Amino acid sequence: MDGDKVKESAPDCASGAAEPTKKQDKRKRAYAEFDVVDKKSVSAEWQQEMDALYKYYKEVSGHQLNPEELSCTTNDSIIACLLEESSLSCAKLTDGIYKRMKLQYGVTESSVRTSVLNIGRRSSYGISAMDVNGLEDESDSSLWCWETEDLALLPLHLRSSLSIRRTARKLIHKRILVLSGTGT
């Protein structure tokens, strides 16, 4: 009879050892399913935050200044007003400024291009490839923006609001870099 108990308990031990393995598989499967759902949720949240940042960027950028209304008097101050917060490529920006100034101010296209490059800089506040041409790229994800290097060329009453918008763009850029994994 003792032998029968041993025989009965032996299969129980064997089946008991097999059961935890099955339970572990089920747990792993549950965790794997949770990971997929969690990754989708995180991905959706990431995309929502990126979309919100891009939308906010559009709100704090692209305010076109009108040199005639701002009483800009020199060619450099007119060009500074026209390039400030533009997202156009250098060629398109130069062409637009040239067409606007050629009749009144007698400028050449090459002199406008030279002035644009001396007065402003084009910065990317989004995600851009390393090998991209910073003057001509027009990808939406890069969030390109022309900024006047010397705010003294712009009317005094606009400088503080421009500085605030520049700071906002820098903070947006910093957050985009963190979310994209390219920032620190």
Mean pLDDT computed over 63-85: 88
Q: How many domains does the chain have?
A: 1
d(CA 43, CA 149): 37
pLDDT tens for residues 139-181? 999 999 999 999 999 999 999 999 999 999 999 999 999 998 8
**Is 98 domain-assigned?**
yes
Domain that holds residue 147: 66-126+136-180
**Is 26 domain-assigned?**
no
Q: Virtual CA dihedral for 32, 35, 37, 42, nearest 10 degrees?
A: -170
pTM higher than 0.95 for the full model? no
Mean pLDDT computed over 40-45: 79
The residue assigned the tokens 């598989």 is 25
